[in-house]
Amino acid sequence: MEAVTFALIGLGTGSINVLLAVGLVLIYRGSGVINFAHGGFALLGAFIVMDLRTRHDMSWPVALGAAVLGAAAVGLLVQVLVMRPLRTASPLARVIATLGVHTVLIQGVLLEYGAEQRTVPVPVPSGPVHLGSEVVVGKQNFYLVAIVVVVAVTLSIATLRTRMGNALTASAENARAAAALGWSPNLLAALTWGLGGALAGLAGALFPATSTGFISIGQMSVLIIGGLATALLAQFRSYNLALAGGLAIGIVQALTTRYVDQTGVADAVPFLVIVVVLVMRGKGLPVRGSAADSLPRIGTGRAHPALVVPIAVAGLALLRYATPSGWYPALIVSICFAIVGLSTVVLTGYAGQLSLAQFALGGTGAYVAGRLAAAHGWPFELALLAGVVGAMLLGLLFGLPALRTRGVNLAVVTFGLGFALHQILFSNSDYTGGEFQTKLESLRFLGLDVDPIVHADNYGLLCAVWFLVLAAVVATVRRGRVGRRLLAVRTNERAAAAMGVSVFQNKLYAFVLSAGIAGVGGVLFGFSYPTVLYQQLFVPDLSITVLVVTVIGGVGYVCGPVVGALLAPGGVAVLLFDTSSAMSSSDESFVRFVPLITGIVLVLTLVLNQNGVVDQLAAPVRRLWPRRARDDEAVTASAPRTPVAPKSLEVRGVTQTFGAFTALAEVGLTIAPGQVVGVLGPNGAGKTTLIDVVTGYNRPSSGMVVLDGVDVTAWPPHRRARAGLVRSFQSLELFDDLTVRENLLASSEEQDLAAYFTGLVRAGTPRMTDTVCAAVEELELTDVLHRRPQELSYARRRLVAIARAIAARPSVLLLDEPAAGLDEHESAELGRLIRRLADDWGIGVLLIEHDVELVLDNSDRVMVLDFGRVIAEGTPAEIRRSDAVRRAYLGESLVEATP
Ligand code: ADP
Ligand code: MG
């Protein structure tokens, strides 16, 4: 019976989840953005009601109306002023923008009302209801449920029945579809942001009903977790699912509060459940046709030692000998922030994984190190090492969801994990040994007295040296083999796998390495205080802040975190403002505005350049010293064509169904070394699906793929690629932010494990192998090696894609419509090249083409597919004569041309 009581109480919290989630879904459908500022909107609603009811004695309808309209207006403004200018920016930039807006809203409310708890009268009728003899619940819970049921059902019906609803459904599928229905995408986005804001405002206004009339910023900042979790459950699509999911989460939360005797679990467990659901539903590789998004620009990781070394030495000297002692605390905060920022460069910049848990990982490092140092007397050096290892282990764990989820979903998951960590570990005195127990005394590092109070100068120096070392590591990683692998994964997971790059390995590597770096930052940050207060120092919001400021600084650049860290809370920026206010003491109130102003500056900077401040600064440099072709000398003239390992491919009775649809039915074929097998067939015949199955992108419903006598049907794509089964893509899927040369290198380089370690200290000189040189020569790419694919013509890009596939030294090469977009001459040239690949190198080629002549002229055998079935097979001459083929596929012109 008690369980029933708590379940019913959970309906109240669940209703708030639903309201928030419904708004999140609406905004997502209208503009493709997950609004991390949604909790801020709710906060605004709650405080508007509080203000109007308690300070101005307004009536309920007025207060409620003002909250809803106020939040709606803010939503609309955010769309028009921030999101609209960013609509073509990278998803990362857009997430950061909403996080920036979140900061601004929180700081605004903080300025006006302070952080303390306030009371508001409960907005709906309350008081106990007796259900039977044992169950007693507050009335307000039922009112809330009634309200959210009405909201969710109304939205569901409106989606089906109204023109705007239809347009939204259409635009969620395809931005242009809505335009075809006569709706401007901008209008749709503005309407949904306004409406979503209104719903969040309503959620905030109703929130006191679930907290017996108390509100505070701290309490309400947790709400977004429930909202996001619910929206994820609803797949950012269904309002009815949001209704059911939100209430269910509320109930689980209430029950956990009652029955689990562990601090924080109630807040965290529902989220962990969602993580599991998401990960189970996710895919190892993105599906075919996932849109390639624009990504923040990445630096080269190169620096002139003659420039960097003197600057670094001078900086260290200044820091140690010429800095007023009062500046050290702020400087230390900024440097530690910059170190954690470096971890973001590796993970988010290079590997493209959106993590909102970096500060939490740093906190783990501080936790492990702090406990070992304080409770077990470990020396600083060893404690630091242990902290870093601890952070790396947890980083490995946090990286696991990234193997199945990506993009913004991953941000939600990692934020939840970081949040859970804060609730369960940092806030629990059972684990931290009590709030004030991690006391650190007389710190020494390699014999140097680095006590942060007595010798702040030495401590600052220690932090700065660590930053420089780690910055060098990060830059080295960028220049080396591993850097190219990470960038390949970030740009295009499908293509990376096709070149033999293990997406799995590289993502985990990025998570572990970045967690280690964050660990160093976290330990140094924590140890800079005489007592490490984990709960206060490592709040989840700081993980957001560190990502936001690093992206503003430039997430693709090693210098990005330096610029970003200037804006860290309590960092150097505050120092500047503080000294100015010391000069005119009446300005004290101005200092209060600093966080708010910083927030606004952040959002503005982002709107102006999504690649960050450093990128902006680097622009004139790029113009003065454009990328030179100096690397091109590496191309050996007339490189030898050495035969590849001869392997034959056998496809046995492969059937592929998608639901009730059969894309391939009992297809079989054999390709011997040095043989070219052509596949003809109209659009939709199943040709690309055949390649997907052979290379591991689809698991066939039945049948077998055998390479060199080994059954590879269960192998993942990268493993097949390494074994010599390499494909090209109909849609090219080049690595757009690598140069052509780097594209080829990424594909030709060894996929060894050792590089993950040696790459930290030595970038190595990338060597163009004979195969790469030969491919460059054959496809005449020498003059574009230093260009990026986007700068080339479409035909040229197609050739790069083919060269990239050849660079991997395949035994069997599967080409998906390689001649599309080439002119007659180029396509004949390509035909001859394909013959040479087979004849000179011994590569077995599967050639899928629409250009019938190209296939018939250059293949040894030809197979014709129609509706997933093999309708003819034989030598080119036999195919030309086949009646079935003529009827089903070949045009009359060809028939006439055949003697
Ligand atoms: P082709 O390359 O010969 O033009 P495809 O192999 O791309 O044809 O597609 C064959 C058929 O299978 C098409 O009708 C396509 O819509 C369908 N198809 C391909 N992949 C999937 C998938 N992942 N889910 C559902 N249907 C698919
Ligand atoms: Mg195709």
CA atoms within 13 Å, Cβ hemisphere of 579: 8
What is the H or E stretch that residue 201 is in? Answer: helix 185-206
Average of pLDDT values for 734-738?
Answer: 87
3-state SS, residue 649 = strand
Please choose, from the candidates 46, 68, 33, the residue with its C-alpha nearest in 3D space to the C-alpha of residue 123: 46
Q: Is the pLDDT of residue 290 over 80?
A: no
Q: How close is the Cα of 681 to the center of ligand 2, in Å?
A: 9
CB neighbourhood size of 598 (10 A):
25
Report the pLDDT averaged over residues 387-397: 96
Asked whether the predicted pLDDT for residue 383 surpasses 90, the reply is yes
CB of 656 closer than 6 angstroms to any ligand 1 atom: no
Ligand 1 within 6 A of CB of 683: yes
Average pLDDT of the chain, as a whole number: 88
Ligand 1 atom, smallest distance to 691 CA: 6
Looking at ligand 1, which atom is closest to the CA of residue 683? Answer: 4
Among 102, 664, 43, CA closest to 411: 102
Nearest in space to 490 (alpha carbons), one of 300, 289, 286: 286
Summarised one tens digit per residue, pLDDT across range 412-454 is 889 888 988 988 889 888 888 776 778 887 788 988 888 888 8
**Cα distance between residue 192 and residue 198, in whole Å:** 10
Place of tokens 């007023």: 324
User: Would you state the pLDDT for residue 175?
Assistant: 65
Residue nearest to atom 27 of ligand 1 (CA): 658
Q: What pLDDT does residue 854 have? A: 92
* Cα–Cα distance, 517 to 524 (Å, whole number): 11
Pocket lining: 460 vs ligand 1, CB cutoff 6 Å: no
Does ligand 1 lie within 6 Å of residue 516's CB atom? no
Q: What is the pLDDT of residue 831?
A: 94
Structure confidence by residue, pLDDT tens digits, 213-233: 899 988 888 888 889 889 988
CATH 3.40.50.300 domain locations along the chain: 649-738+793-897
Rounded to an integer, the average pLDDT of 43-49 is 95
CA distance 119 to 113: 12
* Ligand 1 pocket check for 220: Cβ under 6 Å: no
pLDDT at 435: 67
Interatomic CA distance for residues 358 and 395, integer angstroms: 9
Instruction: Give percent above pLDDT 70 in the chain.
Output: 94
CA dist 673 to 49, 245, 354, 754, 779, Å?
A: 76, 55, 43, 32, 22
Measured from the Cα of 686, ligand 1's closest atom is 6
pLDDT band at 636 (very low <50, low <70, confident <90, very high): low
> Mean of the pLDDT values across residues 318-334?
91
Residue nearest to atom 21 of ligand 1 (CA): 658
Q: Does the Cβ of 458 fall within 6 Å of ligand 1? A: no
Most confident of 63-72, 258-267, 422-431, 846-855: 63-72
The strand pair at 118-119 and 214-215 is best described as antiparallel
Closest ligand 1 atom, CA of 687?
3
Strand-pair partners of 439: 531
Q: Is the pLDDT of residue 585 over 50?
A: no
pLDDT, residue 424, reads: 86
Residue 261 has pLDDT above 80, yes or no: no
Average pLDDT over residues 62-76: 96
Ligand 1 pocket, 819 CB below 6 A?
A: no
Question: pLDDT of 546-571, one tens digit each?
Answer: 998 899 899 999 999 999 998 888 88
Reply yes or no on whether the pLDDT at 52 is more than 70: yes
Task: Give the closest residue (by CA) to ligand 1 atom 5.
Answer: 686
> Is 896 buried (19+), middle (13-18) or exposed (0-12) by CB count in 10 A?
exposed
851 Cα: distance to centroid of ligand 2 (angstroms): 13
pLDDT of 893 above 60: no
Count of Cβ atoms closer than 10 Å to residue 501 Cβ: 26
| Proximal ligand: closest to the CA of 729 | 2
Helix-strand-coil percent breakdown of the chain, rounded to 5? 65, 10, 30
> Cβ(586) to ligand 1 under 6 A?
no
> CATH assignment of 649-738+793-897, given 3.30.70.980, 3.40.50.300, 3.30.2090.10, 3.40.50.40?
3.40.50.300
Burial class (CB in 10 A: 0-12, 13-18, 19+), 765: exposed
What is the pLDDT averaged over residues 649-669?
A: 94
pLDDT(475) > 90: yes
Q: Return the ligand number nearest the Cα of 817.
A: 2
CA of 685 to the centre of ligand 2 (A): 8
pLDDT in the model for residue 461? 95
Residue 288 has what pLDDT?
66
Band (828; pLDDT cuts 50, 70, 90) = very high
More confident residue, 573 or 241: 241
Distance 874 CA to ligand 1 centre (A): 24
CB-ligand 1 contact for 329 (6 Å cutoff): no
Please compute, for residue 131, the number of CA atoms within 13 A of its CA located in the half-sphere on the CB side. Answer: 13
> What is the DSSP-derived secondary structure letter of residue 620?
H
Q: Which ligand is nearest to the CA of 681?
A: 1
Band the pLDDT of 593: cuts 50, 70, 90.
confident
pLDDT attached to residue 76: 96
User: 157: how many CB neighbours lie within 10 A of its CB?
Assistant: 12
**Cα–Cα distance measured from residue 270 to residue 246, given in angstroms and rounded to the nearest whole number:** 10
The CATH number, out of the four listed (3.30.200, 1.10.287, 2.20.28, 1.10.3470), of the domain defined by the range 2-261: 1.10.3470
Q: Are 478 and 298 in contact (CB under 8 A)?
A: yes
The pLDDT of residue 582 is above 70: no
Beta-strand ranges (E) seen in 167-241 are 214-215
Closest CA to 171 of 192, 194, 150: 192
Give the 3-state secondary structure of residue 322.
coil
Pocket mutation for ligand 1, best pick of 494, 655, 656, 658 (most atoms within 8 Å of C-beta): 658
Residues 571-580: pLDDT tens digits? 887 777 655 4
pLDDT for res 318: 93
Which residues of the chain form CATH 1.10.3470?
A: 2-261
pLDDT at 630 over 60: no
532 CB less than 6 Å from ligand 1? no
- pLDDT category at 897 given cuts 50, 70, 90 is very low
pLDDT on residue 895: 44
586 pLDDT above the threshold of 60: no
Question: Does residue 589 have its Cβ closer than 6 Å to ligand 1?
Answer: no
**Does this model's pTM top 0.75?**
yes
Mind listing the pLDDT tens digit for each residue in 10-33? Answer: 999 999 999 999 999 999 988 888
- Please give the Cα distance from 226 to 14 (Å, whole number): 8
Distance 689 CA to ligand 1 centre (A): 6
Query: Quick check: CB of 688 below 6 Å from ligand 1?
Result: yes
Tell me what pLDDT residue 270 has: 64
- Say what the pLDDT of residue 898 is: 44
Per-residue CA distances from 801 to 297, 351, 730, 807 (Å): 22, 22, 10, 10
SS3 726: strand
Q: Please state, for a pLDDT cut of 90, what percent of the chain lies above it.
A: 52
pLDDT of res. 592 = 72
Ligand 1 pocket mutation, candidates 285, 656, 688, criterion most atoms within 8 A of CB: 688
Q: How confident is the model at residue 632 (pLDDT cuts 50, 70, 90)?
A: very low
pLDDT band of 642, cuts 50, 70, 90: confident
Two structure tokens written together for 611: 């690649």
Nearest CA to ligand 1 atom 13: 684
Looking at residue 232, its pLDDT comes to 85
Which atom of ligand 1 approaches the CA of 658 most closely? 25
Q: Which residue puts its alpha carbon closest to atom 22 of ligand 1? A: 658
